[in-house]
């Protein structure tokens, strides 16, 4: 179990509203926490995936992973200290490129009427190209640097700013002028160093993933505290982008007990000292189980206490996270009559002096011999909205964006995924994932079939289906891809079909 759990950790819609990017939900290949062997393809980017393109783990193993040690027959080489092998003679450069061309068609409200296959409300061709470049340096046994840059199409982004002096030819006119500039779409996804003191204390500092939770399923409440990117539903074990942070780790010699300390700077404009985030964790192993306790504090945030654990036997493993939180940043909505037409039928208020609980329980099954991976998890969100529809909530947030938070909308959630590579033949992979808001009875299901012609060409046929009452969570999220003021389709269920060819993708 422990080895499987480490694989899970190494593989690396909390904010379902985030830029309403659910247009990318269409027909995706579900990916397990630890991918089974065989071909698999992602037919579209996840709604929760980072907008910075190429996914790929930038875990610590890429910097301080197990090195291959080759011993010579000569006594001189055999007597060399083992730590001499823990440094690189040259800087390593690697990365990944992912390219695809996909077609997607979407039909609105398909369960209430007969679909006209010739008249989808969305009919788009979507080219996708993303890349990541990783640079790893380990000049000495106690110091190393890891950096990763990501980009994706479109490769430039237009920014608009104002200038009081404007350009020289217009300066004499005075006033303010808008200036539009195209800048490269390149993101520093990670940039951090790792160093040690006296072979006892391990440190890292910089922009880095802070994965201190145990869940690598659809719900990761512990990692949500520090992570800047949301969970990628097509690869829930992938690293999530982290803040600029300091991390320290100490392991008690001859035991399986470790202590961790974290200090992170929030990703906001002009942070102050009160915005600093601090956390500590102690973990230990008991037989085949791991147990961890942790705490989180920030002067300008709400304190939390955490209890986490994993256990299992054979191919079956279990995990759980429980979080107690004092106060909430969420604006809780209550039904109300709008003062003017077009305003949401709700008012909002915060509940700061109250204890809140959230947690997740789940399991994953990995059968490498039969290329099968199954995951299932449940999430309880004590800060879920109640008494208003998802459509009302998202309409309210769109009018008052300063009150937006990254939490799930509802209270009770469940999710599951299944993947089977080499289905009947070696080239065929089937996968499906589903996630549901049990509170409002809405669901999203995304099955996919992928045929691998060879390593660098595969074609996937997929679908994304939403179910639930009008205005419920997942129909509302998907409807943002086609709903307008005139067609009155906001909050309606939908069905999408996609055909995607993945071309020339791979690591280097």
- Tell me: cis bond preceding 154? Omega within 30 of 0 counts: yes
Burial of 197 (0-12, 13-18, 19+ CB in 10 A): exposed
Residue 244 structure tokens: 């600029």
- In which residue are the tokens 């071309």 written? 503
- What is the pLDDT at residue 347? 85
List pLDDT tens digits, range 126-166. 999 999 999 999 999 999 999 999 999 998 888 776 555 44
Where are the chain's structural domains? 2-39+102-123+191-507
Nearest C-alpha neighbor of 333 from the set 390, 288, 250, 376: 390
Low-confidence ranges of the chain (pLDDT < 50): 1-82, 165-172
Residue with tokens 């191919």: 315
pLDDT of the residue at 162:
56
How far apart CA 25 and CA 477 sit, in angstroms, is 10
d(Cα 408, Cα 357) in Å, to the nearest integer? 14
Helices and strands per DSSP (H, E), number in the chain: 6, 21
Nearest-CA neighbor of 377 among 214, 215, 212?
215
156, 182 contact by CB (below 8 A): yes
Phi and psi of 335, rounded to 5°? -60, 140
Rounded CA gap, 329 and 301, in Å?
8
Output the pLDDT for position 363: 97
Q: Please, is 47 exposed, middle or buried when counting C-beta atoms within 10 Å of its C-beta (0-12, 13-18, 19+)?
A: buried
State residue 426's pLDDT score: 95
Beta bridge partners of 4: none
Written in H, E and C, the secondary structure of 177-232 is EEEEEEEEEEEEEEEEEEEEECCCEEEEEEECCCCCCCCCCCCCHHHHCCCCCCCC
Q: What is the pLDDT of residue 174?
A: 52
Say what the pTM is.
0.80
**In CATH, what is the architecture of 2-39+102-123+191-507?**
Beta Barrel (2.40)
pLDDT number for residue 337: 78
């Amino acid at each position: 179990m422990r080895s499987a759990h480490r694989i899970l950790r190494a593989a690396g819609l909390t904010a379902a509203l985030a830029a309403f990017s659910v247009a990318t939900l269409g027909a995706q290949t579900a990916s397990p926490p630890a991918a089974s062997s065989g071909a698999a393809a992602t037919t579209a980017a996840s709604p929760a995936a980072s907008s910075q393109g190429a996914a790929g783990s930038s875990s610590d193993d890429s910097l301080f992973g197990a090195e291959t040690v080759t011993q010579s027959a000569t006594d001189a080489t055999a007597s060399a200290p083992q730590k001499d092998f823990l440094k690189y003679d040259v800087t390593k450069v690697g990365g990944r490129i992912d390219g695809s061309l996909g077609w997607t068609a979407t039909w609105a409200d398909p369960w209430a009427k007969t679909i006209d296959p010739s008249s989808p409300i969305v009919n788009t061709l979507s080219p996708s190209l993303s890349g990541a470049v990783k640079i790893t340096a380990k000049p000495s046994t106690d110091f190393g640097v890891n950096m990763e840059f990501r980009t994706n199409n479109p490769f430039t982004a237009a920014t608009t700013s104002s200038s009081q002096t404007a350009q020289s030819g217009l300066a004499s006119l005075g006033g303010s002028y808008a200036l539009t500039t195209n800048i490269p779409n390149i993101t520093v996804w990670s940039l951090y160093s790792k160093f040690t003191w006296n072979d006892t204390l391990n440190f890292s500092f910089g922009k880095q993933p802070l994965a201190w939770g145990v869940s690598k399923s659809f719900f990761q409440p512990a990692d949500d505290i520090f992570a800047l990117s949301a969970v990628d539903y097509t690869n829930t074990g992938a690293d999530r982008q982290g803040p600029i942070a300091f991390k320290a780790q100490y392991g008690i010699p001859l035991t399986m007990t470790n202590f961790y300390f974290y200090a992170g700077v929030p990703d906001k404009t002009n942070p102050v000292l009160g915005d600093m985030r601090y956390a500590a964790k102690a973990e230990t192993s008991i037989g085949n189980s791991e147990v961890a306790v942790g705490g989180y504090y920030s002067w300008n945030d709400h304190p939390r206490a955490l209890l986490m654990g994993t256990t299992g036997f054979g191919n079956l493993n279990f995990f759980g996270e429980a979080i107690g939180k004092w106060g909430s940043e969420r604006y809780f909505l209550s039904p109300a009559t709008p003062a003017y037409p077009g305003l949401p039928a709700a008012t909002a208020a915060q509940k700061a002096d109250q204890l809140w609980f959230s947690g997740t329980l789940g399991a994953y099954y990995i059968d490498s011999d039969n290329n099968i991976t199954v995951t299932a998890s449940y999430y309880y969100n004590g800060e879920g909205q109640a008494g208003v529809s998802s459509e009302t909530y998202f309409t309210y947030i769109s009018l008052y964006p300063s009150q937006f938070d990254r939490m799930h909308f509802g209270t009770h959630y469940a999710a599951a995924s299944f993947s089977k590579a080499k289905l009947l033949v070696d080239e065929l992979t089937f996968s499906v994932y589903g996630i549901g808001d049990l509170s409002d009875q809405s669901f999203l299901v995304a099955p996919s079939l992928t045929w691998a012609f060879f390593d660098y060409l595969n074609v996937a046929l997929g679908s994304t289906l939403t179910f639930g009452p009008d205005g419920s969570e997942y129909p509302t999220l998907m409807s943002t891809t086609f709903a307008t003021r005139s067609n009155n389709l906001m909050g309606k269920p939908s069905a999408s079909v996609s055909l995607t060819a993945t071309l020339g993708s791979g690591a280097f």
